[in-house]
Structure 1
Amino acid sequence: MVNQNDQIEQQLFKMLRRTQAIHVRTASGDVELERSSYGILCLLSDDGPQRLGSIANAFRLDPSTITRQVQAVVRLGLAEKHVDERDRRATVLSLTDQGAEAVAEARAHRRQMLDALLHEWTKAQRTEFLASLTRFNETVDSWIEREDDADS
Structure 2
Amino acid sequence: MKNDLHEALMDLVGVVNRPQPDQHLLKLAGVSLDRALFPLLVRVGLRGPIGVVELAELVGRDHSTVSRQVAKLESLGLVRRRAGDTDARVREAVVTPAGQAMVDAIGQARSRMYASVLAHWTEEEKATLTHLLRRLADDAKVWVKEEGGG
TM-score by length of 2: 0.80
Pairs within 5 Å for 1:14-33: 14-19=11-16, 20=18, 21-28=20-27, 29-33=30-34
What one-letter code is carried by the residue in structure 2 that aligns with 1:13?
Answer: M
Counterparts of 1:10-89 in structure 2, within 5 Å, are 10-19=7-16, 20=18, 21-28=20-27, 29-34=30-35, 36-59=36-59, 61-84=61-84, 87-89=87-89
Query: Structure 1 counterpart of 2:6, which letter?
Result: E
Contact 1:27–1:33 (CA<8 Å) still a contact in 2? no
Tell me the matched-pair count. 146
Helix, strand or coil: the match of 1:121? coil
Give deviations 1:9-34, integer Å, cap 9, x for gaps.
22212112222343221113242242
Q: Show CA shifts across 1:60-102 (max 9, x none).
A: 5432232123123223221112234654433121111111111
For structure 2, which runs of at least 5 residues remain unmatched after alignment? Answer: none
| Residue of structure 2 in register with 1:126 after alignment | 126
Identity %: 21
User: Which residue matches 2:91?
Assistant: 91
Change in Cα spacing, 1:114 to 1:56, as seen in structure 2 (3 Å) is: same
Asked if the contact 2:31/2:106 (under 8 Å) is kept, the reply is: no
Gaps of 5+ in 1: none
Q: What TM-score, normalized to structure 1?
A: 0.80
Runs of 4+ in 1 over 6 A off after TM superposition: none
Change (3 A) 1:82 1:146: same
SS at structure 1 position matched to 2:37: helix
Quote the residue 1:116 is aligned against.
116
Greater C-alpha radius of gyration: 1
- In 1, Cα distance between equivalents of 2:128 and 2:84: 42
Matched residues in 1 for 2:33 and 2:51: separation? 24
Corresponding letter in the other structure for 2:135: R
